Structure 1
Amino acid sequence: MPKHQATSEIEAKNGAISEALARIEAVLSAGPVDGLKTHALATKARIGINSLDRDTADEALDELTAISPEPTELVLMKSAYERAFVIQTNPADFENLPVESSETSQEQENLMASLDDADDWDFFRLLQTADELLAHGFYRECTDLLRDRVSFQSTNPALDTLCDACLRGHLGPLAKEINDALSPQVKESVFGWRLTSTDWVLVDFSV
């Protein structure tokens, strides 16, 4: 991802959404080549989705669809869009909903199908997909995607996502495996404490 677009995403996450979008719009107004335009539009879409600005997200996704970006990129965008805007529950109707549903949407099915190409992804896309899987509750799939691609020597976003999936999915044996592999520095950090403070991580599953 070009540096200025990564800067814009960080800026937006820190609350400077208007400034971040203005930077992206400046790039798009300059008439960038197709590859750079795709990156800029993807950044704009993510900012719109993360800030719950549906008009911005719609505008960026419409343009992305028109220029036919890489399929996986669009699958991730649509999955995140659905999570932000489509799967919305009216609080007044909440009590009438089942506690859990086994149904999956088309976008969730597309997200799962995209995992067939995971071996060819760069790490940034891998981490984005893992975050989407975690958000949708596909904990086992999230851990399968990350477990052999994560460093246990220091804290990092991938390790954080992997451990979150283990804890939320109650994947005890894998969590214990990760805990055993953590470096002493990580075990002594707040991150390591959070993982090892969960009782079932310390259970001996070999018995």
Structure 2
Amino acid sequence: MRVRKLTFAALAVAAGLSLTACQSDGADTGKSDSSSAPTASSGSNASSSGGGSDTGGSDQSGAKATTGTSSGGSSSGGTGTAAGTGSDVNAKVGKCRTGELEVTAKDNTIDGDASRTVVVQFKNGGGRDCVISGYAGVDLRTNAGTVSAKRTGQETTSAVLKNGKSTYFPVNYPFDKSGGSGVRITGLVVTPPNETKSVTLNWPGAATLPVTDGSGSSVTVGPVGSAGQGG
């Protein structure tokens, strides 16, 4: 009996030691897990921090690149626009103004013509090239009032009148075959195309116009450039 009691006691001790060892192993395992968990967390935090830095760096870099592109594009575009505007201004030729034109007139009637002709000359004396086109306004002053010339209806063209150069147009009017009676012409008023300021000249043609019934003007004017030099 004594031997059995000792055996049971030995078994109990062994079982106790075995349980203690198991608990110890469980505790060690728990410690190991606990220890590894913070390590993993630390690594995760480092990764998260690193990702944030990369993302932040990427965002900041992108903002700079965008700003740089925008600034460069704006600067380049502004310069291009300014240069283009300057080129347009330098290339543009303004219209011929009355004050820049030397206006003269002379008789250019040729025997055999159906009507008489006075040729008006526009000479560019403005010190710059200018554009001239269309019909000039022409009025004949007479002892019976003003007679306004009608346009012939010919097609007009636009041309650059170089400084110092001239262009011409005709004023046509009928012969007065009444033997001295008629409407006496006292002056010629010319208004360059697209202008309002006029120039008054001495009339170089025949002294009179035939008397009409007032149904319309018997005086016509051609477009600028439709007459040659002196005719």
Point out the structure with the larger strand share: 2
Point out the structure with the larger helix share: 1
Scaled to the shorter chain, the TM-score interval is under 0.3
**Larger RCO: 1 or 2 (CA < 8 Å, sep 6+):** 2
TM-score (normalised: structure 2): 0.16
TM-score (normalised: structure 1): 0.17
